[in-house]
Amino acid sequence: MSGDNERALARLSAIVQWSADAIVSTDVHHIVTSWNPAAERLLGYSAVEAIGRSCELSVPPEHIEKRRLRLGNLAPGEAIVGIETTRLRKDGSLVDVEITVSTLQDADGALIGFSSILRDSSERKAAEARLRQLERRYRTFVEQMPALTYITAPGSEWNNIPLLHLSTRVEEVTGYSAQHWVENPRFIFTIMHPDDHDRVVAIDRESSLTGEPYRAEYRVFAADGRMMWFRDEAVLVRDETDGSPLYWIGFLLDITDQKRAEEEVHAALAGQRAANHQLARASNEKSEFLAVISHEFRSPLTSIQGFSELIVDESLTAEEARGFAATINTNARRLARMISDLLDLDRLESGQITVQRIPVSLRQVVDDVIASFGPTASHHQFVTRFDPAPPPLVGDPDLLIQVVTNLIANAIKYSPAGGQIIVSTSHQAGTVRLSVRDHGLGIPEVALETIFSRYARLPRPEQKDIVGTGLGLPIARQIVGLHHGTIWAEAPAGGGSMFIVELPAGDGQGGEPPVDAG
């Protein structure tokens, strides 16, 4: 053997001797011909114990046949690389190994044996098992989270960002399978509410370009058509060494119930604010009403007291006494009317009024009321426009007279300069309509509804000398309501005001109408 060959053989022997991997050589009959120190450490047999014996002493019995088949199929020059298997140690324990087997040949290329390199894979396999366990734990944790998780690749092309991961619960939450996102990573924008789309796209683009955290709340339509609210947050994960972007990790949280609760809270707060406003307004109106009532009561009482004292203390002629008595009588009647109005409204609001239901002639009611005002309305001209063929009407004549009386009294009172008062009746679509139109002070648009409130009075200088409690309209509304009708005010073109009452024709309850008495 030449010197070069000897040196090469020595180097090879050293490599085998000091290799960290077990290296075992056998002849074609699988008898061990070499067994390096790493093999001694891995399998527990010394070289003396192993050389000359079958290498199958370290092969588990259930693997022997499979090993023989593999090696029997190996042709000279071929190798088996990276077989994951186990070997049997001298102490009977098993060890995980990765084996590479190559053929040994003589100078003529004939097969003379096998060389096996065995690497202990126990630690790697244990690490892989731990990794799989961690992955299972992570996946279980992620899939059980209330939020949907997703991972996307970084990129500046907003419409072309690959999806790397999406929670499998996406179908459970939205009704759409994950395949929709696989085919179109921007699928969320196709089901987004149109009012939110452009705003969220702008936020998403900005985060994609700058790498700043992404946060947005928006609505989407689920597969079944219901609208859902999502809170979407994502952060860019960077490489710890050079800071290069690795991926975006995001969380998509269903906040529909939260938004619904917020809306209910806002609605409740708004309702509470409105109720507080109503209470404050009612309190103010009540205070104003009490001030008006006090004034209205004080004026006739002062007059009654003053004139009665004169009758008692002064020597009066019979004519003077009769005049003073007449004034006292007028103010006493005024007080009686105010007290009657207060009691009537209280009984109406508390449901203590029993409503008669008998045939009523609305024309007769209007005629009687106008006739009663004749002596006190000399500056006013009454114009009546009656329905020539009125449908039957059933109700309480006395209460309806009170409604018409209050409306005509208001028309006279709030048109102090006189003028026409037009009273009309008509019918349409199962209803009977009464309207009272004057050309007086009129009503501001904002007060057309509030004037029907119990404590409402318009604080206008032009009506400061007009007496009254302001209860006529609330009483009228209560009575009309008891008849299943409606009453409202309008501010017609040309000035003045118009009050309209609509009552159901027939029996007022949808039954067969009786014959109209009028």
The beta-carbon contacts of 169-175 under 8 Å, at least 24 apart in sequence, are 169/143, 173/148, 173/228, 173/254, 174/220, 174/222, 174/223, 174/228, 175/222, 175/223, 175/224
Give residue 3's pLDDT. 61
Question: pLDDT tens digit string along 181-223?
Answer: 888 888 999 999 999 999 999 999 899 888 899 999 999 999 9
Looking at residue 374, which CATH number applies to its domain? Answer: 3.30.565.10
Kindly state the average pLDDT of the residues 54-80. Answer: 90
Residues 371 and 430 in one domain: yes
Q: How many domains does the chain have?
A: 4
Predicted confidence at residue 116, as pLDDT, reads 93
Angstrom distance (rounded) from CA 157 to CA 161: 7
In a domain, 132, yes or no: no
Boundary (domain end) residue, out of 189, 221, 254: 254
**Does the structure show a pLDDT above 80 at 381?**
yes
Do 361 and 483 fall into the same domain? yes
Residue 458 placed within a domain? yes
Span of 302-306, 338-342, 376-380 with lowest mean pLDDT: 338-342
CB burial of residue 259 (10 Å; 0-12, 13-18, 19+): middle
pLDDT digits (tens, 9 = 90+) for 76-92: 889 999 889 999 999 99
Q: Is 206 helix (H, G, I), strand (E, B) or coil?
A: helix
Strand partners, 434: 425, 501
Structure tokens, 163:
């999806």
Is the pLDDT score of 514 beyond 50? no
Task: With respect to residue 138, please indicate whether it lies within any of the assigned structural domains.
Answer: no
Say how far apart CA 498 and CA 442 lie, in whole Å.
8
| Amino acid, res. 307 | F
Q: Decide which of 275, 307, 338 is a domain's last residue.
A: 338
158-162, 279-283, 290-294, 310-314: least confident range: 290-294
DSSP per position, 487-518? EEEE--TTSS-EEEEEEESBTSSSS-------
What six digits make up the tokens of 125?
Answer: 């396999």
Instruction: Give the SS3 label for residue 474.
Output: helix
The span from the CA of 238 to the CA of 241, in Å, is 9
Whether residue 508 contacts residue 484, with contact meaning beta carbons closer than 8 Å, is answered with: yes
pTM of the predicted protein model? 0.44
With 0-12 / 13-18 / 19 or more C-beta atoms within 10 angstroms meaning exposed / middle / buried, residue 462 is: exposed
Give the single-character DSSP code of 391: P
Say yes or no: 219 and 284 in one domain: no
Closest CA to 22 of 100, 78, 105, 128: 100
For residue 372, give every residue at least 6 positions away whose Cβ sits within 8 Å of its Cβ, in sequence order, or none. Answer: 405
Q: Exposed (0-12), middle (13-18) or buried (19+): which is 398, by Cβ within 10 Å?
A: exposed
Residues 249, 272 within the same domain: no
Strand partners, 197: none
Evaluate whether 171 touches 177 at the Cβ level (below 8 Å). Answer: yes
Residue 63 counted as domain residue: yes
pLDDT band for position 511 (50/70/90)? very low
Contact 211, 246 (CB under 8 A): no
Q: Kindly report the CATH number assigned to the domain that includes residue 195.
A: 3.30.450.20
Considering the domain architecture, whether residues 382 and 443 belong to the same structural domain is answered as yes
Residue 316: inside a domain: yes
Sorting pLDDT into bands at 50, 70 and 90, what band is 42? Answer: very high
The pLDDT assigned to 146 comes to: 72
Count of helix runs (H) and strand runs (E) in the chain = 13, 17
Give the sign of the dihedral formed by CA 346, CA 351, CA 353, CA 355. positive
pLDDT at 348 exceeding the cut of 80: no
> Band of the pLDDT at 462, cuts 50, 70, 90?
low
The set of long-range contacts for 146-151, using a CB threshold of 8 Å and a minimum separation of 24, is 146/253, 146/254, 147/251, 147/252, 147/253, 148/173, 148/251, 148/252, 148/253, 149/249, 149/250, 149/251, 149/252, 150/181, 150/234, 150/249, 150/250, 150/251, 150/252, 151/247, 151/248, 151/249, 151/250
From residue 368, alpha-carbon distances to 10, 102, 441 in Å are 141, 128, 26
User: Confidence class of residue 508 from pLDDT cuts 50, 70 and 90?
Assistant: very low
pLDDT above 90 coverage of the chain, percent: 39
30 contacts 74 by C-beta, under 8 angstroms: no
Task: Identify the pLDDT of residue 334.
Answer: 62
3-state secondary structure of 157: coil
Distance separating alpha carbons of residues 242 and 234, to the nearest angstrom: 21
Q: Whole-angstrom Cα distance, residue 517 to residue 123?
A: 109
d(CA 321, CA 482): 46
Res 35 pLDDT > 90: yes
Q: Are residues 436 and 493 in the same domain?
A: yes
**Residue 95 and residue 8 in one domain:** yes
Amino acid at 496: G
Task: Residue 72: give the domain boundaries.
Answer: 3-122
Residue 505's contacts (CB-CB under 8 Å, 6 or more residues apart) are 391, 392, 393, 427, 430, 431, 432, 513
Helix (H) or strand (E) holding 184, with range, is: none
Choosing from 310, 338, 366, the residue where a domain stops is 338
**In CATH, what number is assigned to the domain containing residue 277?**
1.10.287.130
Answer whether residue 517 is part of any domain. Answer: no
- Residue 516 located in a structural domain: no
pLDDT in the model for residue 107:
86
pLDDT class of 469 with cuts at 50, 70, 90: low
Shared domain for 364 and 433, answered yes or no, is yes
What the block records as the tokens of 253 is: 């949280």
Asked whether residue 19 falls in the same domain as residue 109, the answer is: yes
Q: Tell whether 415 and 481 lie within a shared domain.
A: yes
pLDDT, tens digit, 9 for 90 and up, residues 90-115: 999 999 999 999 999 988 889 999 99
382 and 481 co-located in one domain:
yes
Residue 77 pLDDT: 87
**Mean pLDDT over all residues of the chain?**
83
Start-to-end CA span in the chain (Å): 147
**Are 365 and 444 within one domain?**
yes
Residue 135 domain flag: no
